[in-house]
Structure 1
Amino acid sequence: MPKISVAIAGAGLSGLCLAHSLIRAGFAVQVYERDLELHARRQGYRITVDEYGIAALQRCLPPHLFKLFLATTSPTDETSYFRVTNQKLGEIFKLTFKGDSSGIDLRTPRQVDRQTLRTILLEGLQDKVHFGKEAVRAESASDGATLHFSDGSCTHVSIIVGADGVNSALRKQYLPDCEPEDTNSWGIFGRTLLVQNGRSLVPSPLETSGVFAMGPSSRGFFFTTMKFREAPQTAFSRFGVDQIPPVADDYVMWGIVLPRGQSPEHQEKLSKEMLHRFAQEITQDFHPVLQSFVERADIDCTMAIKLRAAREPSSWPVSRVTFMGDAVHIMPPTGAHGGNTALRDAALLAEKLEAAAIQGEALEQAVSSYQEEMSKYAFREVEASKVMMKRFTIKNPLINWVMLCAIPWIRSIANKPLTTELTYDGPMISKK
């Protein structure tokens, strides 16, 4: 049987993950990325990898790269929390997650730096990934598909996989009724070195917490830490990876969610410095600890993202062109399922294509089975993330008062307030 050739548009997490699995199965794979280099632009910072994401990486990656991934994730031996608070860090409620002291339970979620994971995924694929190649359209036929690029070149393969993100030109061509909806919210994200002047910026009561602070006027502030189990430089060297890790130190990842009406015009075109100044201005009502993360941030790492949510296709024709990840099911970051769903797509599509090759089945049958199965879990996650986002951006004045004032006050009477344990060693303002 002739070798099956695959063109993957997009060298993000899912595209690279899929490439590893198919190459190991004997497929001829090439990956095309519109950016000029791997880290040409920011695509997020710390992400949570859950049991689905971990299982997908374990299935698709060579064993030594999967071990490297585990080595550079966060430790899992401590109990962790997700806390929802008001803007002064008065606690509304918290969720508790038990740790795994052994670190070997792959059902235990862990944190990973997105850039570090993407660098790990590139390892071994350097000669298969082509940068500066923007996919603009595709043509599907009975004997394969042709992928066209913005530079006028093209390639003919057995199957094309669109993994080229929320602005996918291929999705607009093949699923024209699925343009993502605007959630009317923006996110400003940043990264701040965790240890500065010999001290951690995160107070000890919040060291193992992810925190979403609900603020006035539907604004919200999220933060969590990214601590590496093993320093990336050390881990890369130990596993014989010659690439330079993109991140060397532990950090705080923070994000501000705000309604479109409160964001500056043309936010996506603002300079890093202007975005950072704006982030400082709109967090003046938040606790000094939260303000310190913005104040001491790496300004060059500040970025703005329009938060969008995918629309499920009313019909999805089967062809030699299919999609995965943000190209087809973009979702708000609330819930932390976007990256995991994309990795899950990669493992599922690899499984279907590899089974078709072994059994001599038509690739269209594999694509049909993949699209049907993926749609069930992916768009369920999209809807869940939208619901969670609405809960975090309450507009009803009465409910807003209950959540931001009444509940934290009641909890402060019943228990020692979280804010009494927080200290801030900084030059801006005293603790409130």
Structure 2
Amino acid sequence: MTSAVKPILIAGGGLSSLLFARSLQRSKLPYVVFERDASIVYRAQGYRLRLSSDGLNAIEEVLGEDFQDFYDQCGKTGGAGFSAIDPLSGETLGGQHNSVASEALTSRENRIVGCARGDMRKMFMEGCEDNIRWSHHVTGYELTDDGVRAVFKDGTKSEEGSLLVAGDGIKSEVAKQVSGGRLKVFDLGARGIHGQAPTTAFKGLGEGVFRLVDESRPEGKVFLITNVRAGDMDNPGIEFGWTMGGSPGVIHAPNDDFQIIGKAAADIAKSLSASWHPRVKPLFDNMIESEAAFWKITCSSPDGVPEWPNVPRVTLIGDAVHSMTPAGGNGANTAVRDSALLGKLLADAGGFKEGLTDEYEKKMRVYATEEVKKSYAMASQQFGVQIDATTPTL
């Protein structure tokens, strides 16, 4: 009598974990997801994500015949790059001021494709619901003779699995354990605010992806990025999002608590944009205050993903292994590439086998290191951040 196949254990219920779970579901490999939150709507989901060609290709590889439904629900925006707007004068900048337009953003059908993080999580989770264990915070692991167990915050342990894959974000304790402390996430000091407003607030901008930079403050820059999709513009029931950021020292959350959401974040965004032009002020005057949320700019080492002695039954995906700044929109697209790569290796092997995670990590390090370096370089230029010997880690 053969023993049952041990499930693959997944720590975290974010984008990379859920897409990885979909890959296992499609391959008919047993798995279980452990997520610390109580439900998918437990906390604010953050901003809209721009999907690159690499990101879309990875998602399509995993979703297969279900990809078209996903793609149909993504927003599509015309234009090849950013348009720069002076937030003080309301003018669209051209010539030397609009060098940001050279940053190509299109990925399919000559369109800029994006999807809200919360919507992506819901779509990736379809069909996986019965395999998710909510309110299970993974804080480490324990290797067994021929498997692995996840260790939870309350001291209990999971069933024995064949493999533990941690996709539980920048504060992953599994990442610290498996890498022997080699993986570090740096707090760059820059802070931001996410906001939402009805489509009517964006009428003055037109269609496109817009970047605003206010350099009038002595304490540092304030910038804003937003994406206006023409297809949704006349539907007042749809909200568009924007992301505001500030150089280190510009944005301060009350009591330094960046988990606060709602009016406290909304009030700061309104204050920072108080002198801005009427063309852009409706984004703040009409914002949905309850949706406002703070965020921190963090980044893995700008040298890229470090090497550590491979632990065959434990590996990492997404922000747990390569945290990136929002500059360039590389983070989520690299995370879904991890999900597709590791999922394919497991599908081809029919489940866990020796050497599989080593092969995955070697391939992942190549593209992820390239993306981390690009993300840090762009953030240094745009936000004035820098990693040195004094930069704190999370």
- Per the TM superposition, whether the score is higher than 0.5 is yes
Q: Is the 8 A contact 1:22 1:350 kept in 2?
A: yes
Partner of 1:71: 72
Residue 314 of structure 1 and its aligned partner are, at CA, apart by: 3.8
Give matches, 1:44-123, under 5 Å.
44-64=46-66, 66-75=67-76, 78-88=78-88, 89-90=90-91, 91=93, 92-93=97-98, 94-95=100-101, 105=108, 109-123=112-126
**C-alpha distance in 1 between matches for 2:194 and 2:321:** 23
The 2-side partners of 1:154 and 1:126 are apart by 18
Residues 220 and 258, structure 1, Cα contact 8 Å, conserved in 2:
yes
| Change beyond 3 A, Cα 1:262–1:210 | closer
SS of 2:28's equivalent?
coil
Measure how far apart 1:40 and its partner are: 0.8
Does the residue aligned with 1:38 lie in a helix, a strand or coil? Answer: coil
Secondary structure at the aligned position of 1:156 is classed as: coil
Of 181, 189, 192 in structure 1, the residue corresponding to residue 194 of structure 2 is 189
**Is 1:351 aligned with 2:350?**
no
- The answer on whether the counterparts of 1:137 and 1:147 sit within 8 Å (CA) in structure 2 is yes
- Which deviates the most, 118-127 or 255-264? 255-264
Structure 1 match to 2:256: 266
Q: Residues of 1 paired with 2:212 and 2:31: CA distance?
A: 41
| Superposition pairs of residues 238-277 of structure 1, within 5 angstroms | 249-264=237-252, 265-268=255-258, 270=260, 272-277=262-267
Amino acid at match of 1:381: E
Letter in 1 for 2:328: G
Of 135, 138, 151, the residue aligned with 1:135 is: 138
The answer to whether the aligner puts 1:393 opposite 2:346 as a matched pair is no
Cα separation, partners in 2 of 1:364 and 1:296, compared to 1, 3 Å:
farther
TM-score, normalised to structure 2's length?
0.84
Give the secondary structure class of the aligned counterpart of 1:30: strand
Equivalence for 1:180: 185
CA distance in 2, matches of 1:268, 1:305: 6
In 2, are the aligned partners of 1:50 and 1:107 still within 8 Å (CA)? no
Residue 8 of structure 2 aligns to a residue in which SS?
strand
Segments of 5+ residues of structure 1 without an aligned counterpart are 232-246, 396-432
What's the CA shift string for 1:267-313, capped at 9, x where partnerless? 41545212211111122243333332122111111111111001345
- 1:372 corresponds to: 362
Aligned to 2:22: 20
8 Å Cα contact 1:82/1:211 also seen in 2 = yes
- Which whole-Å CA distance do the structure 2 matches of 1:153 and 1:228 have between them? 50
Q: Secondary structure at the match of 1:59?
A: helix
Partner amino acid, structure 2, of 1:167: K
Paired with 1:27 and 1:113, the residues of 2 have a C-alpha distance of 28
- C-alpha distance after superposition, 1:357-380 (max 9, x if no partner): 38xxx7341101111111111122
1:12 to 1:149, Cα distance in 2 relative to 1, 3 A: same
Aligned with 2:81: secondary structure? strand
| Aligned equivalents of 2:24, 2:231: Cα separation in 1 | 29
Distance 1:226 1:349, change over 3 A: farther
- Alignment of structure 1 residues 211-226 onto 2, 5 Å: 211-216=211-216, 217-225=219-227
Find the counterpart in structure 2 of residue 287 from structure 1.
Answer: 277
The TM-score normalised by the length of structure 1 is 0.77
- 1:316 alignment counterpart: 308
Contact 1:20 1:61 in 2 (8 A): yes
CA distance in 2, matches of 1:385, 1:98: 15
1:168 has 2:172 as partner: yes
Instruction: Sort the Cα spacing of 1:230 and 1:84 in 2 relative to 1 into closer, same or farther, 3 A.
Output: closer
1:218-241 Cα distance to aligned partner (Å, 9 max, x none): 32322323649699xxxxxxxxxx
Look up the equivalent residue of 2:382 and give its one-letter code.
F
Contact 2:324 2:376 in 1 (8 A): yes
| Counterpart code for 2:164 | I
Q: Which residue, out of 323, 327, 330, partners 2:323?
A: 330
Q: CA deviation at 1:323?
A: 0.5
Return closer, same or farther for 1:22/1:273 CA change in 2, 3 Å cut-off. same
Alpha carbons of structure 1 residues 165 and 219: separation in structure 2 relative to 1, 3 Å: same
Q: CA deviation at 1:29?
A: 0.9
Counterpart for residue 210 of structure 2 = 210
Q: How far is 1:343 from its partner? A: 0.4
What secondary structure is seen at the aligned counterpart in 1 of 2:226? Answer: strand
Separation in 1 of the partners of 2:140 and 2:7? 18
Deviations 1:223-266 (A, max 9, x none): 323649699xxxxxxxxxxxxxxx99432221221133223251
Structure 1 stretch displaced more, 376-385 or 215-224:
215-224
> In 1, are the aligned partners of 2:36 and 2:138 still within 8 Å (CA)?
yes
* Residue of 28, 31, 37 corresponding to 1:29: 31
- SS, match of residue 166 in structure 1: coil
Q: Structure 2, unaligned stretches of length 5 or more?
A: 386-394
Give the Cα separation in 2 of the matches to 1:250 and 1:56: 28
Change (3 A) 1:214 1:4: farther
* C-alpha deviation, 1:356, in angstroms: 2.7
Q: Secondary structure at the match of 1:16?
A: helix
CA-based RMSD: 2.7
Quick one: structure 1 residues 36 and 225, their matched pair in 2 at CA, closer, same or farther if it must change by over 3 Å? same
Identity of aligned residues (%): 25
